[in-house]
Structure 1
Amino acid sequence: MARTAADITEQMQPVHKKSIKWGLAGIVLVLIGLLVSIGLGAIWIPPSVVWESFVSFQGGLIEHQLIREVRLPRALTGALIGAALAVAGTIMQGITRNPLADPSIIGITHGAGLAIAIALAFLSGGSYWVLLIWSFAGSAVGAFLVLSFSMLSKERISPVTLTLAGAALSTLFSALSTGIALYFQTAQDLSFWFAGGLSGTQWRHVYILLPAVFLGLLLSLWISRSLTILALGEEVAAGLGQSQQKVRWIGLAAVILLSGAAVSIAGAIGFIGLVVPHMVRLLIGSDYRWLIPLSAIAGALLLVMADIGARMINPPFETPVSAVTALIGVPFFLYLSRRKRGYM
């Protein structure tokens, strides 16, 4: 076991400088993406005007008002949601050791959808905060069922089996949501949620996401080293004294925080948590101490760029951003599902 520990340390060391370089490059690209996202819309606002609205805001200018009250909160919300979904997917892949794990695929997102459908049907006068709490509860149920399925099995479940179980759970949740929405005539409200998008986001959504994403990232980074060791196998992790149950439950709490907040605001945006962790692994490897923060940066960049694409496909109308992420994610999912070699 001493050799294994040394191998782990050796594996972790070389990626530091490379990870820092990729992280800095990613931050620069996110800032550029935010600038483009703020300027893009039915009315194009040049970068110089965007910059002026930050350094010398003038309330009498409609462009400055548009930037401050509409486009800036939308861009920041997209970046935070992208980061949250990417980190949630990274943690799910780590604690289940399943390369196909993603909140939108294995039941977590649709669990939140079922909870929101119930809330819309029985709590029609409820505030946005009520829907937020129900979304967290639904995400928690979906995450708990998937993680329990992987933990209670006496034999290690293959990634495909776990994914199929999650897909079946998602289908059940989706069918129940649709039935409830049709019976209680809330289908229009629920269909807007299932379409997924950033239209109508406000500063209050930023204020909700900031603490949720911050706390979720803290929990994720807390178990990052343990996840790296767990990726080498459960026997190795046990031999090094890792508490696998503790790591999984802390990871589950992080996933619930991140995915619950994201889906309650933007709806069912899929595949970010699937694609981003694999892209980052190709660049820096599987050290979760770096994989988690770089996945957050890459997820923010991907959703900001997807939102820009959604607005450019059919202007001045908006294409659901979930359709853009699906165009990226579905081929990637099919590629991963056909891979023969093992994960991690």
Structure 2
Amino acid sequence: MRANAPSGAAATRAELPLRRALSGRRPLWLALGLLLLGALALASVAVGTRTVGWPDIALALRGQVDSIATAAVSARLPRTALAALAGAALGLSGAIMQGVTRNPLADPGILGVNMGASLAVVIGIAWFGITALEQYVWTAILGAGAAAVFVYGIGSLGRGGATPLKLALAGAATSVAFSSLVAAVVLPRADLAGGIRSWQIGGVGGATFEGIGHVAPFLALGFGLAMISARKLNALALGDELAAGFGERVARARAWAAAGAILLAGATTAICGPIGFVGLVVPHACRLLTGTDHRWLLPFSALAGACLLLAADILGRLIARPAELDVGIVTALLGGPVFIWIVRRQRIREL
């Protein structure tokens, strides 16, 4: 290391004044985030193979679909709603997982939760013939929960317990293994391969309000569990012993928070497919604006996740026009460099 290179601790201390200045303006950032979300939602219904104007958007919102432009807007409305909901769920799920594990690399994709949900759905389709979206949701949630327990169990083995490095390695290995199992299940089923492979990429195309209605109760329950866990996550951030000293039931607090994250990730995977990196990137960006207080971090992560997935969906439609890139590909392209930056900056330390 060069003599003039600052250590990780020194760099963190140098950032504290900036973080304090930014976190002191939380209401302003919240207002700007809501404005950005509204602007992205309008852009999402306006941009696509056919660009439509504001008069057509207004007519479609009033229920008139007697032209090609208004019909296009009507088809994009559920897609926009799903992108916002899925992004909020994934951003919130990632923030919870990072808080529960105190792992800066925690994310539904990196820890294998999304791929566990994906494997469960694929097995359900190929072996048990499930067809209804409600069945997909229950199956995905069970798969996500089983994957989370498995990864945490593997990462807890050996000296030091579930360290961030061990959890990240266990999650990466589990994701690769589950991905291989998905391929093994799909390959003999030529009748299902095309649809499952398309779903595995992760996207919000083809969304309907009926489909959103099926997953909405699970997302609402996940959001509720997440928000009531905010104070508990603040206590867990102090360390298990200190949290227990303040009267917090550590195991129960972790279980409730993790249940919320699993519901959010599983339900989103069921309807969108596995979308990666949103839960990793968003909480790190939001901590710069809100600090580490989960009472602010969790709602900001939901808002920023919705904005990110909407922006990724719009970008996917623009760069491949008149075709489009699925949002899962765009988030992978955006999230990969950020993941490398986090690894180099954090050196896989605890939060």
Quick check: TM above 0.5? yes
Equivalent of residue 126 in structure 1, options 116, 131, 140? 131
1: CA distance, partners of 2:200 / 2:336: 17
- Residue-by-residue CA offset, 1:221-258 (whole Å, 9 max, x unaligned): 11101101211222221221111111111112101210
- Report if aligned partners of 1:100, 1:274 keep a CA contact under 8 Å in 2: yes
Which residue of structure 2 lines up, in the alignment, with residue 182 of structure 1? Answer: 187
* Aligned residue identity for 1:327: L
Answering whether residue 52 of structure 2 is matched by residue 45 of structure 1, we say yes
Once the two structures are superposed, the pairs formed by residues 52-131 of structure 1 within 5 Å of their partners are 52-54=59-61, 56-68=62-74, 70-124=75-129, 126-131=131-136
* Aligned residue identity for 2:168: T
- Report if aligned partners of 2:23, 2:289 keep a CA contact under 8 Å in 1: no
Q: CA deviation at 1:14?
A: 9.5
Answering whether residue 229 of structure 2 is matched by residue 213 of structure 1, we say no
- Report if aligned partners of 1:116, 1:134 keep a CA contact under 8 Å in 2: yes
- Tell me the secondary structure at the aligned position of residue 106 of structure 1: coil
- Report if aligned partners of 2:235, 2:243 keep a CA contact under 8 Å in 1: yes
Answering whether residue 335 of structure 2 is matched by residue 329 of structure 1, we say yes
Q: CA deviation at 1:51?
A: 2.6
Q: CA deviation at 1:155?
A: 2.6
Equivalent of residue 268 in structure 2, options 262, 266, 270? 262
Q: CA deviation at 1:150?
A: 5.0
The verdict on how the C-alpha distance between 1:91 and 1:340 changes in structure 2, with shifts beyond 3 A counting, is closer
2: CA distance, partners of 1:163 / 1:47: 46
Q: CA deviation at 1:149?
A: 4.1
Once the two structures are superposed, the pairs formed by residues 260-299 of structure 1 within 5 Å of their partners are 260-299=266-305
Q: CA deviation at 1:63?
A: 2.6
- Tell me the secondary structure at the aligned position of residue 339 of structure 1: helix
Q: CA deviation at 1:165?
A: 0.5
Which residue of structure 2 lines up, in the alignment, with residue 136 of structure 1? Answer: 141
The verdict on how the C-alpha distance between 1:61 and 1:291 changes in structure 2, with shifts beyond 3 A counting, is same
Which residue of structure 2 lines up, in the alignment, with residue 311 of structure 1? Answer: 317
Answering whether residue 207 of structure 2 is matched by residue 201 of structure 1, we say yes
Once the two structures are superposed, the pairs formed by residues 206-245 of structure 1 within 5 Å of their partners are 206-245=212-251
- Report if aligned partners of 1:101, 1:163 keep a CA contact under 8 Å in 2: yes
CA RMSD, 1 decimal: 2.0
Q: CA deviation at 1:128?
A: 2.6
Point out where structure 2 has 5 or more consecutive residues left out of the alignment.
1-19
Point out where structure 1 has 5 or more consecutive residues left out of the alignment.
1-12
* Aligned residue identity for 1:30: L
Answering whether residue 63 of structure 2 is matched by residue 31 of structure 1, we say no
- Report if aligned partners of 1:93, 1:100 keep a CA contact under 8 Å in 2: yes
- Report if aligned partners of 2:152, 2:167 keep a CA contact under 8 Å in 1: no
TM-score by length of 2: 0.88
1: CA distance, partners of 2:260 / 2:153: 16
Which residue of structure 2 lines up, in the alignment, with residue 160 of structure 1? Answer: 165
Q: CA deviation at 1:42?
A: 1.2
- Residue-by-residue CA offset, 1:146-178 (whole Å, 9 max, x unaligned): 334456766343212210001111111111111
Which residue of structure 2 lines up, in the alignment, with residue 7 of structure 1? Answer: none
The verdict on how the C-alpha distance between 1:199 and 1:59 changes in structure 2, with shifts beyond 3 A counting, is closer
1: CA distance, partners of 2:256 / 2:41: 32
2: CA distance, partners of 1:304 / 1:223: 26
1: CA distance, partners of 2:156 / 2:97: 13
Q: CA deviation at 1:261?
A: 1.0
* Aligned residue identity for 1:82: G
2: CA distance, partners of 1:293 / 1:125: 34
* Aligned residue identity for 1:336: I
1: CA distance, partners of 2:157 / 2:244: 17
Which residue of structure 2 lines up, in the alignment, with residue 10 of structure 1? Answer: none
Which residue of structure 2 lines up, in the alignment, with residue 8 of structure 1? Answer: none
- Residue-by-residue CA offset, 1:180-230 (whole Å, 9 max, x unaligned): 111233322221121111111111232134322222111111110110121
Equivalent of residue 19 in structure 1, options 11, 14, 26? 26
- Report if aligned partners of 1:226, 1:247 keep a CA contact under 8 Å in 2: yes
After the TM superposition, which of the residue ranges 247-256 and 71-80 deviates more from structure 2?
A: 247-256
